Amino acid sequence: MVPVWKEGTCHCGRIRFRVRAMFEKALECNCSICFQKGYIHLIVPSGDFELLQGQRDLSTYRFNTGEAKHHFCSHCGVSPFYVPRSHPDGYDVNLRCVTDLDWRKVEITPFDGANWEQNIQKIEGYES
């Protein structure tokens, strides 16, 4: 399979992006923020992500170590992507925000992010 570009949006459409991946595998994290958001993680290198519109509409939330940049739309509140602590030079895209993609057909691997420090080695090098 060859990586393809797909577009995504927040709920109101002010944030638009595109991401290149094979869309075969993703992660589901059980940490407090990911669990509450319902995030399905697709981690890509920065060269495989492009913000198309909405830079001024993005807000950022940081907590704990402050390394991760949890971006969200300041209008609708949806978090379509962020810069993860595990891959600070890449992007983590919420597959639920990628249009024209049935994320339920993607192989989703559970990740124990509630115990991040003990499990991070399981996703190091994990990029689509």
* pLDDT of 127: 64
Instruction: Inform me whether the pLDDT recorded for 16 exceeds 90.
Output: yes
pTM of the model: 0.90
Instruction: Inform me whether the pLDDT recorded for 128 exceeds 70.
Output: no
Given the structure tokens 């990628």, which residue do they identify? Answer: 98
pLDDT per position as a tens digit, 68-85: 899 999 999 999 999 999
> Can you tell me the distance from the alpha carbon of 55 to that of 25, in angstroms, rounded to the nearest whole number?
28
Domain boundaries, the chain: 4-110
Strands (E) in the chain, as ranges, are 4-9, 16-21, 25-29, 41-45, 49-53, 58-61, 70-73, 81-82, 90-94, 107-111
Start-to-end CA span in the chain (Å): 12
**84 phi, psi to nearest 5 deg:** -80, 150
Which CATH number does the domain 4-110 belong to among 1.10.10.10, 2.40.110.10, 3.40.470.10, 2.170.150.70?
2.170.150.70
